[in-house]
Chain A
Amino acid sequence: MKSIKPLYLLLVVLTFLLIEGALYLAFLYAPTERTMGDVQRIFYFHVPSAWVAFLAFFVTCIASIAFLRTGKATWDRLAAGSAEIGVLFVTLVLVTGPLWAKPVWNVYWSWDARLTTSLILWLIYIAYLMVRHYTADPERGARFAAVFGIIGFLDVPIVYMSIRWWRTLHPAPVMGGGGGLAPEMFRTLMAGILAFTVLYITLLVLSYRISTLQQKLQAIKHSS
């Protein structure tokens, strides 16, 4: 990590400290939930993972719009990096959700609205990454992917609203109606969201740096 600039190091250290704090709160500060017991503590990183995935896809959508309007490769690189991170976090949601569901609902998976729309979201952005990767002409691939990134984002509000629009097994939303979390639980959740948001920024900065360096290498190859 010798060549990594101070900004990255600062971000990594800040992320580490915030995650340590969030872990402390999740295991030692937040009270044990009465009906689910300790397994409910999955919530403190399951919800922040979903938040970061939504944020990442929002950034992809905005950067894709900016790319289609301006044609600048910087927007495309930002969109691609953010989508990749979003896929990572949706994967975490789809893995931690069933691990929480099994002891509570007695099944790992149920084809209910929230779970199904989340799986569709994951598939949409896997397809987005495949479009980028497998299109022979990179410029055309970037434009296809930008359209995909904008249309794909339509699933995010559907995932969020699914527990209001349909009857599901999934718990009520914590923010924006219902929930009724104890103040300690709410603070712990907020700490998790903050830590994961800073982690997202760190990953995005690194990912953007990689695509910038790759472009620089290509420019050098073309010029020589």
Chain B
Amino acid sequence: MQKLQFLFAAYSLIWFALFLFLLRLARKVTRLEQLVRRIEEK
């Protein structure tokens, strides 16, 4: 029993979801840090 499409689908979904989540957090941190810095500089 091979059915590698299920293995491929599971791994693709895991990494895609984790990548998106990490990217979302990293972008949010960067945006908020810039915003705080800008306000503090004013």
The chain A residues found within 8 Å of chain B, CB to CB, are 1-4, 8, 12, 35-39, 41-42, 45-46, 49, 88, 91-92, 95-96, 99-100, 102-104, 199, 202-203, 206-207, 209-210, 213-214, 216-217, 220
Q: Secondary structure at chain A's binding surface: helix, strand, loop or mixed?
A: helix
Select A39's contact among B6, B25, B34, B37, beta carbons within 8 Å. Answer: B6
Select B25's contact among A2, A45, A100, A206, beta carbons within 8 Å. Answer: A206
- A220-B39 contact given A39-B3, A100-B10, A207-B25, CB 8 Å threshold: yes
Cα of A20 to Cα of B37 in the assembled complex, Å: 35
Cα of A3 to Cα of B38 in the assembled complex, Å: 13
Q: Are B34 and A3 in contact (CB under 8 A)?
A: yes
Chain A contacts of B17 at CB under 8 A? 88, 91-92
Cα of A209 to Cα of B27 in the assembled complex, Å: 12
Chain B contacts of A100 at CB under 8 A? 6, 10
A-B pairs with beta carbons under 8 Å apart, 23 shown? A3-B30, A3-B34, A4-B30, A12-B22, A37-B2, A37-B3, A38-B2, A38-B4, A39-B3, A88-B18, A96-B13, A96-B14, A99-B6, A99-B9, A103-B1, A202-B22, A206-B26, A210-B25, A210-B28, A213-B33, A214-B32, A217-B35, A217-B39
Chain B contacts of A216 at CB under 8 A? 36
Chain B contacts of A91 at CB under 8 A? 17
The chain B residues found within 8 Å of chain A, CB to CB, are 1-4, 6-7, 9-11, 13-14, 17-18, 21-22, 25-26, 28-30, 32-37, 39-40
Cα of A10 to Cα of B3 in the assembled complex, Å: 38
- A213-B29 contact given A3-B34, A92-B17, A99-B9, CB 8 Å threshold: yes
Q: Are A46 and B1 in contact (CB under 8 A)?
A: no
Smallest CB separation, B35 vs chain A (Å): 7
Chain B contacts of A8 at CB under 8 A? 29
Smallest CB separation, B11 vs chain A (Å): 7
Chain B contacts of A36 at CB under 8 A? 1
Chain B contacts of A103 at CB under 8 A? 1, 3, 6
Q: Are A1 and B30 in contact (CB under 8 A)?
A: yes
- A46-B32 contact given A88-B17, A103-B3, A220-B39, CB 8 Å threshold: no
Q: Are B1 and A203 in contact (CB under 8 A)?
A: no
Chain A contacts of B3 at CB under 8 A? 37, 39, 102-103
Q: Are A217 and B10 in contact (CB under 8 A)?
A: no
Chain B contacts of A220 at CB under 8 A? 36, 39-40
